[in-house]
């Protein structure tokens, strides 16, 4: 579906309710599969969460998780540790290009039986579940933290727990800390010191535990961008957010200060307000929060600011090569971007081309990151329903705050 977004304004002082964090939800679904008296509130309504929930309820011999990276990685570990379960795990064409070899190797050293059905190192996988008794594993921590979280989530179900030794630089570290915190909340004992994670076995919850998922901070990033691109004093209220978040993307509150956006925690959420002009130079290392790179780049471009982003090496293996996709689409709008394998450099500019069609490359975050530019010029977004991967009501929510959106 091609959407035309006419030049819009954010209606002031609206409230948006964003559904639960996709990352927290997908971890809790795996934990719920291990501990059946775990209750979850405010579960994400994202496609990636729905597909994982269905996969966990299915007895089918083949499971297709489409574009959902965490679902693919978490299920690979989960199914490998389920004795007598035989399953083929597959996904979209892009999922079959997203690496999984580091996780598969780690699981094999623990005794798992996994084989590749097409290309070595990539889905689809054939898994014969086993009773895993080995308890130490080493793996490269620099490619995707999801491999490590996948092992951590199944660790309490293993007879001897798990010691995970991380090799090299740790990428996307807050996601590991989120996994640890959620394990702790269900009563699993853990430690994370230097490069070693230890997780103790736990077979059941003594008493029922109910957890509430905080709303999704990555989804909030698009509203930060809209407020940054709006006139001074523009404001929006987002629910349900808390100051002590488990989500690394909550660093948006600090990052967007550079764009003149202030965050106040109130009424069970955040009020974000444009209170100042943006800084003249934007420069961040996003190794801890890769999912907001597209949002930040587009905000900087919308404000005509130069922007240097580092720590982006994981972007090349996400829903698309996000570094390349950003360069291509920003340049169509008249920007100038230089890229390397792990950084992006946007030049200052003073013009945004009007009525350009943004390609989304099967990537929800391409669609959502570029939408706020409609506050500056009319813009078209191609294959716009790609947003449902993480944020099903995105376009309706934009309409509710004043965006004029037309299906072409």
Ligand X SMILES: O=C(O)C1=C[C@@H](OP(=O)(O)O)[C@@H](O)[C@H](O)C1
Binding of residue 321 to ligand PEP (CB under 6 A): no
Q: Which of 145, 247, 360, 392 binds ligand X (CB under 6 A)?
A: 145
Measure Cα distances from 241 to 20, 179, 233, 267, 328 in Å.
Answer: 10, 18, 21, 9, 34
Does 291 qualify as catalytic in the annotation?
Answer: yes
As measured in angstroms, the least distance from the Cβ of 23 to ligand X is 3
Q: 264 has which bridge partners?
A: 271
Cα 70 from Cα 55, distance rounded (Å): 13
Task: Tell me: does residue 49 bind ligand X (CB under 6 A).
Answer: no
**Among the listed residues 52, 68, 114, 166, the single contact to ligand PEP using CB under 6 A:** 68
CA torsion angle 316 318 323 326 (round to 10): 160
Strand order from edge to edge, sheet including 337-339: 282-285, 307-310, 344-346, 337-339
Contact by Cβ (8 Å): 320, 327: no
Q: Which is nearer to ligand PEP, 105 or 291 (CB)?
A: 291
Nearest residue to ligand PEP, using CB? 69
Kindly tell me which of 42 and 390 has the beta carbon lying closer to ligand PEP.
390
Q: Which is nearer to ligand X, 211 or 348 (CB)?
A: 211
Find the binding residues for ligand X in span 50-89 (CB under 6 A): 70
State yes or no: residue 46 binds ligand X (CB under 6 A).
no
DSSP state letter for 89:
E
Among 3, 8, 40, 69, which residue interacts with ligand PEP (rule: CB under 6 A)?
A: 69
Annotated catalytic residue: which of 291, 321, 363, 397? 291
Per CB under 6 A, which of residues 257..276 are in contact with ligand PEP? none
Q: Closest separation between CB of residue 48 and ligand PEP, Å?
A: 6
Query: Is 98 annotated for ligand binding?
Result: yes
Q: Single out the residue of 235, 247, 390, 392 in contact with ligand PEP (rule: CB under 6 A).
A: 390
| Inter-residue long-range contacts of 46-53, CB under 8 Å, 24+ positions, other chains counted | 46/19, 46/22, 46/216, 46/388, 46/389, 46/390, 46/391, 46/392, 47/388, 47/389, 47/390, 47/392, 48/22, 48/389, 48/390, 49/20, 49/22, 49/25, 52/26, 53/29
Contact flag: residue 365 with ligand PEP (CB under 6 A): yes
Q: Is 76 in the site for ligand PEP (CB under 6 A)?
A: no
Return the one option of ligand PEP, ligand X, none that residue 390 interacts with (CB less than 5 to 8 A, by type).
ligand PEP
The option from ligand PEP, ligand X, none interacting with 68 (CB < 5 to 8 A, set by class) reads ligand PEP
CB burial readout 147-183, b (16+ within 10 A) else e:
bbbbbbbbbbbbeebbebebeeeebbbbbbebbbebb
Which strands, in side-by-side order, build the sheet including 14-17? 14-17, 235-239, 269-274, 261-266
Distance CA 239, CA 268 (A): 6
Please say which residue, 73 or 274, places its beta carbon nearer to ligand X.
73
List residues binding ligand PEP (CB under 6 A). 48, 67-70, 291, 318-319, 365, 390
List residues binding ligand X (CB under 6 A). 23, 70, 144-146, 149, 171-172, 175, 290-291, 314
Residues at the binding site are 22-23, 27, 69, 98, 144-146, 172, 291, 318, 322, 365, 389
Residues at the binding site for 3-phosphoshikimate are 22-23, 27, 144-146, 172, 291, 318
Return the active site residues: 291
């Amino acid at each position: 579906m091609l959407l035309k977004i006419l030049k819009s304004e954010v209606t002031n002082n609206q409230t948006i309710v964003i559904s639960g964090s996709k990352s927290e939800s997908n971890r809790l679904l795996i934990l719920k599969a291990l501990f059946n008296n775990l209750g979850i509130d405010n579960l994400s309504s994202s496609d990636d969460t729905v597909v994982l929930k269905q996969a966990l309820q299915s007895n089918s011999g083949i499971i297709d998780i489409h574009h959902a990276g965490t679902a693919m990685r978490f299920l690979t570990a989960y199914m490998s540790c389920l004795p007598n379960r035989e399953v083929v795990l597959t996904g979209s064409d892009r999922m079959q290009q997203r690496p999984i070899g580091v996780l598969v190797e780690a699981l094999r050293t623990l005794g798992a039986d996994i084989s590749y059905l097409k290309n070595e190192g990539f889905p689809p996988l054939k898994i014969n579940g086993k009773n895993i008794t080995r308890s130490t594993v080493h793996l490269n921590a620099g490619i995707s933290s999801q491999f490590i979280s996948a092992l951590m989530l199944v660790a309490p179900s293993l007879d001897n727990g798990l010691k995970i030794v991380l090799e090299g630089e740790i990428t996307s570290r807050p996601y590991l800390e989120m996994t640890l915190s959620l394990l702790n909340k269900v009563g699993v004992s853990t430690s994370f010191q230097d490069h070693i994670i230890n997780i103790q076995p736990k077979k059941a919850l003594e008493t029922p535990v109910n957890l509430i998922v905080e709303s999704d901070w990555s989804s909030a990033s698009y509203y930060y961008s809209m407020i940054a691109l709006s006139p001074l004093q523009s404001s929006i209220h987002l629910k349900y957010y808390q100051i002590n978040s488990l989500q690394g993307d909550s660093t948006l509150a600090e990052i967007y200060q550079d764009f003149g956006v202030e965050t106040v925690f109130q009424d069970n959420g955040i009020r974000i307000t444009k209170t100042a002009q943006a800084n003249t130079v934007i420069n961040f290392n996003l190794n801890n929060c890769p999912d907001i790179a597209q949002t930040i780049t587009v905000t900087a471009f919308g404000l005509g600011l130069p922007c240097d982003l580092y720590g982006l090496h994981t972007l090349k293996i996400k829903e698309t090569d996000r570094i390349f996709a950003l360069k291509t689409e920003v340049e169509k709008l008249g920007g100038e971007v230089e890229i390397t394998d792990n950084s992006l450099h946007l030049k200052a500019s003073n013009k945004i081309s009007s009525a350009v069609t943004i390609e989304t490359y099967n990537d929800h975050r391409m669609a959502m990151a570029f939408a706020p530019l409609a506050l500056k010029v009319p813009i078209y977004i191609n294959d716009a329903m790609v947003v449902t991967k993480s944020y099903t009501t995105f376009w309706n929510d934009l309409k509710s705050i004043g965006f004029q959106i037309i299906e072409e």
